[in-house]
Structure 1
């Protein structure tokens, strides 16, 4: 129990930033325009810098090998989640456009804005290294399978240029640096490292501001939001934990990163993508807010369970 509380405290520290973001939005210091600016700053500058510098480490052969396994694991786990949610959504009698939003919001998680900070605070830069490789597989499926899911009724399709966004490119670049044991020169590493360190507070402030934008009463009136939350935060991580017991080749760190990434709240970008394709972005916004709030309690539990 003491260990569980300790993990909860470590992860709970991150949500202090979320609270400050919420407070800033309520006080009128932050607004929708600020959110867009911060989101762009994180997406195009600080997140890629954090990814590259976190991979500019002295990585052992074993860690590189495990990183590849985590990359493969992310592709397998997200694909299995998709196969799992197909019959579940039918069983719950979710159909029409709501079915696409339900599946999209339940399968894909916030593996960067929340995943990176959690893995960093628990494991340091090796945690970011593993989380970035998980994110690579996850994001490739997000921008291909995910976008197809959300826009298929509108006759649209994904664009490869979106799948190959700057964050995917930075992950690939960082991994190649790690693979070749290439260390960035100090003149380049220090400014990138300083920029990357801003990712954690900025990303979490952004989530807090987003939470303050929503009406909490609307979160309590949607049965579908509850169902999506239970599957996203409890069922899929529990199934992942069971599968990881059948894969003893992961280290405790690798196992925990995989489990925590699968236990992340719904992807913060999901409503944005849905809005772009005129899909169910209102439902997805509620799912993002509700799962982000409840993940404060579920993430420490799964971080603790991963150690056994």
Structure 2
């Protein structure tokens, strides 16, 4: 895809975010309704999008690429988990936990899938879903450990790692792909139509979320600029240079770079609420990083030109 076409696709996604923001500001969609929309997305439309993205004829090359991207995802999340330990030491504990979390975890679902799909089509969503397996493994282990400081019950933790909509849908999709199982037309089209709701819905949800907190107060804290720079610029640049050093190119390079360049993970606020983190900090850094990503994301995509 030509670079300007990629930029146009990204602009379209951010225009939908603006539509969501306007809908939120005018009380067309309340914050409570937005929570419900998020649940619909996470539990229905996104899993269907992932399953439909696996609708390819089996190919050893695609399987090899998928395994490679999963290994890259595990390497990136593992490395960031270690690096985050030495960052933000001057911050209050609640804030430090949130900033460590967003350093490791990007918004690879809500924004990552739409952008990957816009650039690479269904194949992009397929590989983004594979990359997201690494995300899920780390977010339900390291992510919880960050907030709970090691006070985690193993059985419940394992259940969350392996039994969640993302992992289940990838497992179903991978089974269909590897064994070349073709669903009946009416079922596959139903899954595809519901899955296609995900991209505009996810952008609207992000837009509504942005109007839930004072933008003025979010931009007053310098640490949010620092954390956003790390999340949006430094992390993807390091990922880019390491992968190019090892001669990765094409989709091997594109998917990890795109996903790494995403703003703070959409579930940052949810984790802060559930596991006693600083909810105000989580909300503000999510807002600041999402807004700045409108500038930084096209610049990161330029590296793929």
| Greater displacement, 226-235 / 57-66 | 57-66
Q: Deviations over 1:96-130 (max 9, x none)?
A: 23221110122101101000000011111000000
Query: Are the equivalent residues in 2 in contact too, given 1:4–1:301 (CA < 8 A)?
Result: no
Displacement, 1:64? Answer: 1.4
Pairing 1:98–2:109 present: no
Asked if 1:123 is matched to 2:120, the reply is yes
Aligned to 1:174: 173
For 1:254 and 1:278, locate their aligned partners in 2 and report how far apart those are by CA, in whole Å. Answer: 37
Counterpart-to-counterpart distance in 2, 1:4 and 1:62: 26
The yes-or-no answer on 1:183 pairing with 2:169 is no
- In 2: Cα distance, 1:202 partner to 1:177 partner: 26
Partners of 1:109 and 1:261 within 8 A in 2? yes
Q: Which residue of 2 aligns with 1:87?
A: 86
- Which residue number corresponds to residue 35 of structure 2? 36
**Unpaired segments of 5 or more residues in structure 2?**
none
Give the aligned partner of residue 69 of structure 2.
70
Query: What is the CA-CA distance between 1:251 and the residue it aligns to?
Result: 4.3
Flag the 1:156–1:222 CA change in 2: closer, same or farther, 3 A: farther
Maintained 8 Å contact 2:103/2:227: yes
Residue 59 of structure 1 and its aligned partner are, at CA, apart by 4.3
Distance 1:78 1:173 in 2: 24
* 4+ long deviations beyond 6 Å: none
Aligned 8 A contact 1:46 1:195 in 2: yes
TM-score, scaled relative to structure 2? 0.94
What's the counterpart of residue 263 of structure 2?
265
1-structure distance, mates of 2:176, 2:3: 36
Aligned to 2:14: 15
The Cα of 1:159 is off from its aligned counterpart by 2.5
User: 1:27 and 2:26 equivalent?
Assistant: yes
Show CA shifts across 1:154-208 (max 9, x none): x345623322212211112212221222222213101111100000111110000
In structure 1, the residue matched to 2:239 is: 240
Does 2:146 match 1:149? yes
CA RMSD of aligned residues (A): 1.6
What does residue 136 of structure 1 align with? 133
Give the deviation of 1:68 after TM superposition.
Answer: 0.8
Deviates further, 226-235 or 181-190: 181-190
Aligned to 2:213: 214
How much has 1:297 moved relative to structure 2?
1.3
Matching residue within 110, 115, 133 for 1:113: 110
- Aligned 8 A contact 1:264 1:299 in 2: yes
- Return the alpha-carbon distance in structure 1 between the equivalents of residues 78 and 88 of structure 2: 16
Partner of 1:256: 254
Q: Distance in 2 between matches of 1:6 and 1:189?
A: 29
Kept after mapping to 2: 8 A contact 1:8/1:297: no
Q: Are residue 160 (structure 1) and residue 158 (structure 2) matched?
A: yes
1:246: Cα distance to partner? 2.0
Aligned to 1:276: 274
Provide the C-alpha distance between the structure 1 equivalents of 2:249 and 2:182, rounded to a whole number of angstroms: 25
How does 1:223-234 map onto structure 2 within 5 Å? Answer: 223-234=222-233
Q: Deviations over 1:247-272 (max 9, x none)?
A: 22x44123111101111100011111
Query: Are the equivalent residues in 2 in contact too, given 1:67–1:133 (CA < 8 A)?
Result: yes
Following superposition, the deviation at residue 6 of structure 1 comes to 4.0
